[in-house]
A and B are shown apart, each in its own frame.
Chain A
Amino acid sequence: MTNKFKNYTLPDERGHFEKFGGKYVPETLIPALEALESQYTRVKNDPLFQSELSDLLKHYSGRETPLYHAKQISEELGFDIWLKREDLNHTGAHKINNALGQILLAIRMGKKRIIAETGAGQHGVATATVAALFGLECIVYMGKEDIRRQKLNVFRMNLLGTEIRPVLSGSMTLKDATNEAIRDWVTNVETTYYLIGSTVGPHPYPMLVRDFQSVIGIETKAQFAKQAGKDLPDRLIACVGGGSNAMGLFYPFLKDNVKMIGVEAAGKGLESGEHAATMTKGEFGVLHGAASTLLQNEDGQVTLPHSISAGLDYPGVGPEHSYLNETGRVNYYTATDQEALDAFIWLSEKEGILPALESAHALAYLRQDDNEIEKGEQIVVCLSGRGDKDVHTVAESLGVDL
């Protein structure tokens, strides 16, 4: 590993991870991003803010989440698999870690109106939840296609008092919901807090979402040392859409001698053109306020991604992942829709845990022939969310009529 990760301090003061990151937004948003950054810098070292946040993480979300030694699948595969159970958080995924952090920021900034984008609906539910908790108005933008795929989460958000605004432009998925949330923010920037759900968007979002999600990696480190009787695992694995659960797990380990694998969605196959494998198939570009890697055509138009998992169905990826890919610190693999479905059923049957289809991509990597995992390795997989929301999708793909 290169020395640059021994004292890793990126992003720099301009919000760049070398050529990635930055603030590629309309001028109107610059003052809001600057205000957000200065507020965040203040609370980062404010013990009052930090204790309020850890109190909520513990008593409201139920942290710490377990690190579970999955013995059945470990035995089958010949290496030790530890599942970081983010699915056991309140609302069923890691998204709440970030939503709690950002809602406290929004309150400190005096904002009364919260907006968010959502794909699978997990971030939307997390945002709707924290908005309900603090009595704030909440509007969630969601692509019409995702609304169809994630009816359960849509209804959950409604129950929490959130207004869902269906997005009918473009592919009607996460990318378009993000465009629409940005348009709302540009228009209502003075009253509104934009609660971004992943390590994407303009600086400081990729940094602050990563920091709020780092609780995953920090807990994992301590739990692993205690439970496995070894200092460090050999390998960390997480799925990557925008990349927040992966950044949360990886970040506290960047300086350590631990291999890291991000797993992207290969959809119907890398050669099918219907996938969301940004790092594997994309090129350098700018979308949603940051320079990163992007699925695009030869004219620089963003192309439509595909994944069975709504949370991974995104043509971009967080800028820090692009940086970690370019430096070789993290290796990125892919798993197809079918591999993810198989892994979903596999984990359900073997361990009695229904994983989110997003997380099932990370699990699918464990079973791939070319994964380069050696016998006896100690591996941590981020089980980023639970699969209840995907039961309809899985049933449909199995031809079962519910």
Chain B
Amino acid sequence: MSRIKKLFSKPKEKLIPFLTAGYPELDSTIELVCAAVDAGADMVEIGIPFSDPQGDGPVIQKSSQQALNNGITLKRIFEQVKQIRIQTDIPIALMGYYNPILKMGHEAFLDNCVSADIDGLILPDLPLDEAGPFCELAKSKGLSPILFVAPNTTNDRIRKISELAADLIYAFSILGISGNELSSKKNLKAYLTRVRENSVTPFVVGFGINTRDDVVWFNQHADGAVVGTAIIKKLNGSKLPAVTTKDFIKELKGIK
């Protein structure tokens, strides 16, 4: 069974931190992912920086730009994940906009993912309408494409998206970009119930999740919580990024 399937077959609280590869320093990702794992992260999402991140707010945009200035490349990210893999067995997903992947080529990109022992792929600008060939190829190589649903996605479409994804989907908590604020819990609950009823796979939720309370709440109404912007914000200007990461993950996990 894949690491992702195995993790989501367990009925426990799940926290999935997001870290921008190559931020704050070119190779900090290795240390930061390991710190997050030590602190109790259940899965990690590593962001591939892109020059034009349409779905991200200013905080993640800036971290991506900084990482690109640091000289991060897809090749380097694969090397970093190989280093991380020596130290941990938790599921690792790469999050990336489509163009750098397209440039490397589907086949080459996915083969690199396999040899770096990556588990999942999150592509925010590859919706159901365009994702077919990429997802089928990824699945044939044993990787899990993690497709998105949004509050305005219809029930029928949620089902189709989850069928194509097969192992896990990702629900945007809001209509908006990363770093935006959550809407009312009442609306959220109705939406997450809709996802629960129509998705054939487990689902995690991301965007606007900042606190321990959020993590607890989203684990009650979904299968896991992704925290991105809040972590990157903490890393911004931190002198000891690994310590900052560890402390914040512990706080989010409710570990004293």
Interface positions of A (Cβ within 8 A of B): 14, 22-28, 30-32, 169-170, 175-176, 179, 182-183, 186-190, 283-289, 294, 296, 298-302
Q: How far is the CB of A214 from chain B (nearest CB, A)?
A: 26
Assembled-state Cα–Cα distance A27/B54 (Å): 12
Bitwise interface map of B from 28 to 65 toward A, beta carbon under 8 Å scored 1, else 0: 00000000000000000000001111111110010001
Assuming the contacts A31-B152, A187-B177, asked whether A24 and B126 have C-beta atoms less than 8 A apart, the reply is yes
Contact B57–A27 (Cβ < 8 Å): no
Q: How far is the CB of B241 from chain A (nearest CB, A)?
A: 23
Q: With an 8 A cutoff between CB atoms, is B73 at the interface?
A: yes
Contact B153–A189 (Cβ < 8 Å): no
Assuming the contacts A30-B153, A31-B154, A189-B175, asked whether A175 and B126 have C-beta atoms less than 8 A apart, the reply is no
Contact A298–B172 (Cβ < 8 Å): no
Contact B153–A187 (Cβ < 8 Å): no
Assembled-state Cα–Cα distance A190/B151 (Å): 11
Q: How far is the CB of A29 from chain B (nearest CB, A)?
A: 8
Contact A22–B54 (Cβ < 8 Å): no
Q: Which of B74, B99, B104, B152 contacts A287 (CB 8 A)?
A: B99
Q: Tell me the residues in window 201-253 of chain B with beta carbons closer than 8 Å to chain A beta carbons.
A: none
Residues of chain B lying within 8 A (CB to CB) of residue A170: 51-52, 65
- With both beta carbons as reference points, the residue of chain B lying nearest to A30 in the complex is identified as B127
Residues of chain A lying within 8 A (CB to CB) of residue B172: 26-28
Q: With an 8 A cutoff between CB atoms, is B7 at the interface?
A: no
Assembled-state Cα–Cα distance A190/B54 (Å): 18
Contact B127–A27 (Cβ < 8 Å): yes
Q: Which of B55, B57, B154 contacts A26 (CB 8 A)?
A: B55
Q: Which of A24, A283, A296 contacts B125 (CB 8 A)?
A: A24
Contact A26–B74 (Cβ < 8 Å): no
* 25 A-B interface contacts by CB (under 8 A): A24-B98, A24-B130, A25-B125, A25-B127, A26-B54, A26-B55, A27-B153, A27-B172, A30-B150, A170-B51, A176-B52, A179-B52, A186-B55, A188-B175, A190-B175, A285-B102, A286-B98, A286-B99, A289-B54, A294-B99, A296-B99, A298-B103, A300-B74, A300-B102, A302-B52
Task: Given A26-B124, A170-B52, output 17 extra A-B contacts at Cβ < 8 Å.
Answer: A23-B127, A23-B129, A25-B54, A25-B127, A26-B148, A170-B51, A186-B176, A187-B176, A187-B180, A284-B102, A286-B99, A286-B125, A288-B52, A296-B103, A298-B103, A300-B74, A300-B99
Q: How far is the CB of A51 from chain B (nearest CB, A)?
A: 33
Residues of chain B lying within 8 A (CB to CB) of residue A299: 73-74, 100, 103
Question: How many of chain B's residues have a CB under 8 angstroms from any CB in A?
Answer: 43
Assembled-state Cα–Cα distance A24/B58 (Å): 21
Number of A-B residue pairs with CB-CB distance less than 8 Å in the complex they form: 117
The 10 A-B residue pairs whose C-beta atoms are closest, nearest first, are: A300-B103, A300-B100, A187-B176, A28-B150, A27-B148, A301-B51, A302-B51, A27-B150, A300-B99, A31-B152
Assembled-state Cα–Cα distance A299/B129 (Å): 25
Contact B54–A183 (Cβ < 8 Å): yes
Point out which of A170, A175, A287, A296 has the most chain B C-beta atoms below 10 A from its C-beta.
Answer: A287
Residues of chain A lying within 8 A (CB to CB) of residue B153: 27, 30-31
Q: Which of B99, B104, B130, B152 contacts A28 (CB 8 A)?
A: B152
Assembled-state Cα–Cα distance A381/B235 (Å): 54
Assembled-state Cα–Cα distance A169/B65 (Å): 9
Interface positions of B (Cβ within 8 A of A): 50-58, 61, 65, 68, 73-74, 98-104, 124-130, 147-154, 157, 161, 172, 175-177, 180
- With both beta carbons as reference points, the residue of chain B lying nearest to A176 in the complex is identified as B52
Contact A26–B99 (Cβ < 8 Å): no
Assembled-state Cα–Cα distance A113/B26 (Å): 41
Contact B51–A26 (Cβ < 8 Å): no
Assembled-state Cα–Cα distance A24/B128 (Å): 9
Point out which of B52, B53, B128 has the most chain A C-beta atoms below 10 A from its C-beta.
Answer: B52
Q: How far is the CB of B201 from chain A (nearest CB, A)?
A: 15
Contact B125–A301 (Cβ < 8 Å): no
Assuming the contacts A23-B127, A26-B124, A183-B177, asked whether A285 and B148 have C-beta atoms less than 8 A apart, the reply is no
Assuming the contacts A26-B124, A26-B148, asked whether A301 and B54 have C-beta atoms less than 8 A apart, the reply is no
Assembled-state Cα–Cα distance A22/B57 (Å): 24
Q: How far is the CB of B194 from chain A (nearest CB, A)?
A: 14
Assuming the contacts A24-B130, A26-B150, A299-B73, asked whether A285 and B125 have C-beta atoms less than 8 A apart, the reply is no
Assembled-state Cα–Cα distance A124/B172 (Å): 31
Contact A301–B68 (Cβ < 8 Å): yes
Q: Which of B53, B56, B65, B129 contacts A22 (CB 8 A)?
A: B129
Assembled-state Cα–Cα distance A169/B52 (Å): 9
Assembled-state Cα–Cα distance A176/B61 (Å): 12
Point out which of B54, B58, B129, B180 has the most chain A C-beta atoms below 10 A from its C-beta.
Answer: B54
